[in-house]
Amino acid sequence: MIERIDAIARKQGRDVLYLEFHPQAPGERKGHDYTRDPVRAGVPAGLGRHAVHWDECRP
């Protein structure tokens, strides 16, 4: 189950950073597959290089 962002913050007892990815053109947002977004793909890799723990969540 993917948790909501506020539930994660409460459970960890700290602030959390929420990132949301969309295509550049607003008209392309419907049906955007964020799992294939090249910008999003780089974020977990960068966090991992810096040993930053992350979890996927819902708004």
Q: What is the pLDDT of residues 15-49, one digit of tens each?
A: 888 888 776 666 666 777 778 888 888 888 899 99
25 φ, ψ (degrees, to nearest 5): -85, 125
Span 42-59, mean pLDDT? 85
* Residue 27 resides in a domain: no
pTM: 0.55
* Residue 42 resides in a domain: yes
Say which residue the tokens 């700290």 belong to: 14
* Residue 38 resides in a domain: yes
What is the token pair recorded at 37? 């977004």
* Residues β-bridged to residue 58: 4
Q: Which domain holds residue 58?
A: 1-21+32-59
* Residue 26 resides in a domain: no
* Residues β-bridged to residue 4: 58
- Count up the domains in the chain and report the number: 1
Residue type, 16: V
For residue 2, give the DSSP letter. P
